[in-house]
Amino acid sequence: MTTKYKINELFETIQGEGAFTGQPSIFLRLQGCPVGCSWCDTKHTWEINLSDEVDQQVMINKTAESDHWAALTSEDILAIFNRQGFQAKHIVITGGEPCMVDLTPLCTVFEAQGYSCQIETSGTFEIQTTENCWVTVSPKVNMKGGYKILTSAMQRANEIKHPVATEQHIDDLKALLVDHAVTAKPIYLQPISQKERATQLAIKTCIENNWRLSIQVHKYIGIE
């Protein structure tokens, strides 16, 4: 049976975070996330209600955030890329929490068509994807949902992108790196909500630890 994915949004933009900052990208936002981050800026993707299912054209034409989603196959998604005239060859699969489902079939189809794939995940679900897919783990520690960070996710990550606002967040990250034996991976600190105090803390900590800064460029320049 062909897998259908619950898609909340599908759009072309510039990646504003992490290693691919500045890369033209197609964002594929999946519906559903039980992690419960208090600062989440996509809370409309948390719940999966069958009453919120819409057809693909309604989903594509959304002009505001909503919890409406469309069930699409990988072939449906590729057809939308072509109809929309998307030029980007990098696909960012995000959410919600995309790793609630097996993304291997989806990424396999995309890669066969010449796309590169990137997954952005909280690290609280097993990551099922292709070998070549770039995995960004943004570990969410002690969130309302009660999910634990998985060693398998931290080990699979190509980059760690950690949201920070306080010293406790820095301590949490350092403990994660030790507990899950993470070495030789790019570490990005991302200030929560672009607040000045968080940004200064991230800059200071990056310099002290030879880590990298991710400042959500898309929010500063006003694009999606």
Helix (H) or strand (E) run with residue 220 in it: helix 217-221
Domain assignment of residue 39, given as a range:
5-161
Who wins on pLDDT, 222 or 79? 79
Q: Which residues does the annotation place in the binding site? A: 14-16, 29, 33, 37, 39-42, 94, 96, 138-140
C-alpha 75/C-alpha 105 separation (Å) is 11
Length of the chain: 224
Tokens describing residue 203 = 């800059």
Helix (H) or strand (E) run with residue 26 in it: strand 24-30
Q: Is residue 50 part of a domain?
A: yes
CA 117-122-16 angle, 5° bins: 55
What's the number of domains the chain is made of? 1
Q: For position 31, which CATH number holds? A: 3.20.20.70
Contact 172, 180 (CB under 8 A): no
Q: Is residue 208 part of a domain?
A: no
Q: Is residue 195 part of a domain?
A: no
Q: Is residue 134 part of a domain?
A: yes
**pTM of this prediction exceeds 0.85:** yes
For 8-57, what is each residue's pLDDT tens digit?
Answer: 999 999 999 999 999 999 999 999 999 998 888 899 999 999 999 999 99
C-alpha 171/C-alpha 211 separation (Å) is 14
Q: Is residue 221 part of a domain?
A: no
Q: Is residue 210 part of a domain?
A: no
Please state which of the ranges 78-92, 112-126, 204-218 shows the lowest mean pLDDT: 204-218
Q: Which residues does the annotation place in the binding site for [4Fe-4S] cluster? A: 33, 37, 40
Q: Is residue 190 part of a domain?
A: no
Q: Is residue 224 part of a domain?
A: no
Q: Which residues does the annotation place in the binding site for Mg(2+)? A: 42
Q: What is the 3-state secondary structure (H, E, C) of 60-123?
A: HCCCCCCCCEEEECHHHHHHHHHHHCCCCCEEEEECCCHHHCCCHHHHHHHHHCCCEEEEEECC
Q: Please provide the average confidence, as pLDDT, over all residues in the chain.
A: 94
pLDDT confidence of 1, banded at 50, 70, 90?
low
pLDDT greater than 90 at residue 118: yes
